[in-house]
Amino acid sequence: MWLEIDGIVRRFGARVALEGVSLALEEGEIGCLLGPSGCGKTTALRCIAGFETLDAGRVLARGRLLAGPGVHVPPHERGIGLVFQDHALFPHLTARANVEFGLHDLPRAERRSRADEMLGLVGLADWAESQPSRLSGGQQQRVALARALAPRPSVVLLDEPFASLDVALRERLVAELRALLKSLGATALVVTHDQHDAFALADRVALLRDGRLEQWATPYDLYHRPGTRFAAEFVGQASFLPACCDGSGVLQTELGPLHENHGTAPCGGRVDVLLRPDDVVHDDVAPLRGRIVERVFRGADFLYTLELPSGRRVLSLVPSHHDHRVGEHVGIRLATDHVVTFPPVAAQDR
């Protein structure tokens, strides 16, 4: 493994910030640490970078032990590149000089050559003599990335790199950053609280909750095959529909039968079925009707909240040319490729 985090623990007095978190990245993979505020994702990044001392566990990069029992390699000796949330560029230095800053061990000519090479790779060759104040937010981010990559680190860590950018710019830069990291063959770990950024950027996502690893999976599996109810609710939008199972693998629901193919609840008795908005399809000829109680226009589609005859509610994502009013009844049917079940909430609480 190129980067390996093995059972890391970090405590601050009585508060446990990280409890036994483990994950690993292959060379050239991009990982994301995702989760709500206070879940431990930034602390994990700081432990990998060496700014925090582990209470237990190990951190290895390219097989080299960076932190573990009796070992704590200082941050500047770890061979890890860092891109901070505010980019942390020196305002009085040019873009080139900012990139050169971490290359003090190289001869002057080689420093300049490496800096120019990196600025060219991030598309800023013509801005080498510009100070940060003359650069856009996206350009500043690319300078910060060039600076982090210039020493050719084994791993690049990025802490909320899109937090200060507007929505339109961040969507473009997420795609650009992924393409750039992949073109360079860089191994990277990114902290974000935004699942859309994580899904667009990462090969694998670590979902953290209260200092513990909830799930480590591809974005596709995290969305379609969440391992826990928390993961199902945190990632994407979710509805839960009660179902009965007789042990044959067929789930009987208010919206019709389903064949279970992935679940954390044994088939037998009652379970809750996870439904994503795209699982509930608008169909004018369907015999089952749902009453629209809420609608959110999202441009290409509407997100309808539908009340079923039982009074339970589900979400449905419908193309925006199906423009229905609140209070209307519309036909619906299930179209689920991934049937995921969980124990009912009351059963989980016991």
Which tens digit of pLDDT belongs to each residue from 200-244?
999 999 999 999 999 999 999 999 999 999 999 999 999 999 999
- Listed in sequence order, the residues at least 6 apart from 180 whose beta carbon sits closer than 8 Å to its beta carbon are 121, 122, 142, 145
* Contact call for residues 11 and 17 (beta carbons, < 8 A): yes
Q: What is the pLDDT of residue 13?
A: 95
Q: What is the pLDDT of residue 309?
A: 94
| Structure confidence at residue 265 as a pLDDT band (50, 70, 90) | low
Q: pLDDT of 293-315, one tens digit each?
A: 999 999 999 999 999 999 999 99
Question: Does residue 348 have a pLDDT over 60?
Answer: no
Q: What is the mean pLDDT of residues 78-95?
A: 91
Q: What is the pLDDT of residue 89?
A: 93
Using alpha carbons, list the distances in angstroms from residue 54 to 70, 72, 88, 188, 243: 10, 8, 25, 21, 45
Q: What is the pLDDT of residue 46?
A: 96
Give the separation between CA 347 and CA 265, rounded to whole angstroms. 10
* Contact call for residues 31 and 205 (beta carbons, < 8 A): yes
* Contact call for residues 307 and 291 (beta carbons, < 8 A): yes
Q: What is the mean pLDDT of residues 135-147?
A: 89
Question: Does residue 141 have a pLDDT over 90?
Answer: no
Question: pLDDT > 90: what percent of the chain?
Answer: 75
Q: What is the pLDDT of residue 260?
A: 67
| Averaged pLDDT of the chain | 92
Give the separation between CA 188 and CA 157, rounded to whole angstroms. 6
Q: How many CA atoms lie within 13 A of 1 on its CB side?
A: 13
Q: pLDDT of 39-58, one tens digit each?
A: 999 999 999 999 999 999 99
Q: What is the pLDDT of residue 350?
A: 36
* Contact call for residues 104 and 150 (beta carbons, < 8 A): no
Q: What is the pLDDT of residue 167?
A: 75
